[in-house]
Amino acid sequence: MPAEVVVTGIGMVTPLGATAAESAKAWEEGLFASCSPLPELAGTPLESSPTARLPAMDPAQRLSGSRRMLKYMSGAAVLGCVAAREALAEAAVKERFPSDRVGLYAGTGLAAASVDEVHEMVAQSIGDDGRLSCDLLGKRGLSATNPLLSFKILANMPPCLISILEGIRGPNLIFTPWEGQTAAAILEAWQAVSSGKADCALAGAADTAAHPSTFVYLRQAGLLRQEEFPASAAAYLVFERADAAVKAQRRIHARIIDARLFPAKEGIVDPLSARMGRTFAAAPAILCGLACLSKQSKISISGVDAQTFEMEFAPA
Amino acid sequence: MKRVAITGFGIVSPIGIGRQEFWNALTQGMSGIAPISLFDARSFQVQLAGEIKTHPDLPQKAASAAREDRKVGFAYLACAQSMEQAGLTSFDEGTLLHLGTSLETFDLEKVIIDGKPDFKAVATRNLNNGPALQVPLDTAARLLADAFGRPGRSLTNCSACAAGTQAIGHSFQAVRSGRFRKAVCGGFDSMLNPLGVGGFQLLGALTTDNARGSSACRPFDSERQGTVLGEGAAIFVLEPLEEAASAGKDILAEILGYASTFDAHSLSAPDPEGSGAIRAMSGALSDAGISAEQIMHVNAHGTGTLLNDQTEAHAVRHVLGKHWERVPVSATKSMTGHLIAAAGAVETGACLLPIVRGILPPNPSLERVGTGCELNHVRNPGERFLGGYVLKNSFGFGGQNASLVMRKCDG
The CA distance from A204 to A106, in Å, is: 5
Tens digits of per-residue pLDDT, B371-387?
999 999 999 999 999 99
**The pLDDT value given to residue A65:** 85
HSE of B318 in the Cβ direction (CA atoms, 13 Å)?
A: 18
Percent of chain A with pLDDT over 70: 99
Is there a contact between B117 and A41 if contact means CB atoms under 8 Å apart? no
Interface test with B, best of A178, A195, A216 (most B CBs within 10 A): A216
Tens digits of per-residue pLDDT, A257-280?
999 999 999 899 999 999 999 999
Q: What is the CATH number of the domain that holds B161?
A: 3.40.47.10
Is residue B132 included in any domain, yes or no? Answer: no
**The pLDDT value given to residue B162:** 98
The CA distance from A174 to B251, in Å, is: 30
Taking each helix axis from N to C end, the angle separating B60-68 and B139-148, rounded to the nearest 10 degrees, works out to 180
Is there a contact between B120 and A151 if contact means CB atoms under 8 Å apart? no
**The pLDDT value given to residue A66:** 85
Please indicate if any CB of chain B lies within 8 Å of the CB of A163: yes
Tens digits of per-residue pLDDT, A16-49?
999 999 999 999 999 999 999 999 999 998 999 9
Is residue B87 included in any domain, yes or no? Answer: yes
CA-based nearest residue to A304, from A271, A264, A247, A257: A264
CA-based nearest residue to B29, from B392, B286, B271, B360: B360
Tens of pLDDT along chain B (411 residues)?
A: 999 999 999 999 999 999 999 999 999 999 999 999 999 999 999 999 999 998 889 999 999 999 989 999 999 999 999 999 999 999 999 999 999 999 888 888 888 888 999 888 877 776 777 776 788 999 999 999 999 999 999 999 999 999 999 999 999 999 999 999 999 999 999 999 998 999 999 999 999 999 999 999 999 999 999 999 999 999 999 999 999 999 999 999 999 999 999 999 998 899 999 999 999 999 999 999 999 999 999 999 999 999 999 999 999 999 999 999 999 999 999 999 999 999 999 999 999 999 999 999 999 999 999 999 999 999 999 999 999 999 999 999 899 999 999 999 976
Is the per-residue pLDDT at A185 higher than 80? yes
Position B370: which residue type? Answer: G
**The pLDDT value given to residue B103:** 85
How many CB atoms sit inside 10 A of residue A217's CB? 25
Q: Which CATH number fits domain A5-111+154-315: 3.40.47.10, 3.40.50.720, 3.10.20.30, 3.40.50.2300?
A: 3.40.47.10
Domain range spanning residue B255? 4-102+137-406
Is there a contact between A130 and B114 if contact means CB atoms under 8 Å apart? yes
Please indicate if any CB of chain B lies within 8 Å of the CB of A124: no
Average pLDDT over residues A12-16: 98
Task: Identify whether B161 is a catalytic site residue.
Answer: yes
Residues of chain B in contact with residue A262, where contact means CB-CB under 8 angstroms, are 152
CA distance B241 to chain A (A): 23
Confidence tier at A118 by pLDDT (50, 70, 90):
confident
Tens digits of per-residue pLDDT, A127-166?
999 999 999 999 999 999 888 888 888 899 999 999 999 9
How many CB atoms sit inside 10 A of residue A65's CB? 8
Cis peptide bond prior to A263, omega within 30° of 0? no
How many CB atoms sit inside 10 A of residue A266's CB? 8
Is residue B55 included in any domain, yes or no? Answer: yes
Q: What total of structural domains would you count in chain B?
A: 1
Return the residue of B nearest to A219 by Cα: B127
- The set of residues, in sequence order, having a beta carbon less than 8 Å from that of A98 and lying 6+ positions away, is A199
**Cα-Cα-Cα-Cα dihedral sign, residues A177, A260, A169, B274:** negative
| CA distances (Å), origin B81, targets A173, B84, B99 | 27, 5, 15
- The set of residues, in sequence order, having a beta carbon less than 8 Å from that of A222 and lying 6+ positions away, is none
**A126 vs B116, B134, B155: nearest CB:** B116
**The pLDDT value given to residue B126:** 66
**B112 vs A122, A159, A188: nearest CB:** A122
Could you state, in order of their start, the residue ranges of all structural domains in chain A?
A: 5-111+154-315, 112-149
Here the ipTM equals 0.97
The CA distance from A92 to A95, in Å, is: 6
- Output the pTM of the full model: 0.97
How many CB atoms sit inside 10 A of residue B130's CB? 10
Return the residue of B nearest to A142 by Cα: B198
Per the prediction, chain A carries an average pLDDT of 95
**The pLDDT value given to residue B268:** 84
Is residue B223 included in any domain, yes or no? Answer: yes
**The pLDDT value given to residue A150:** 82
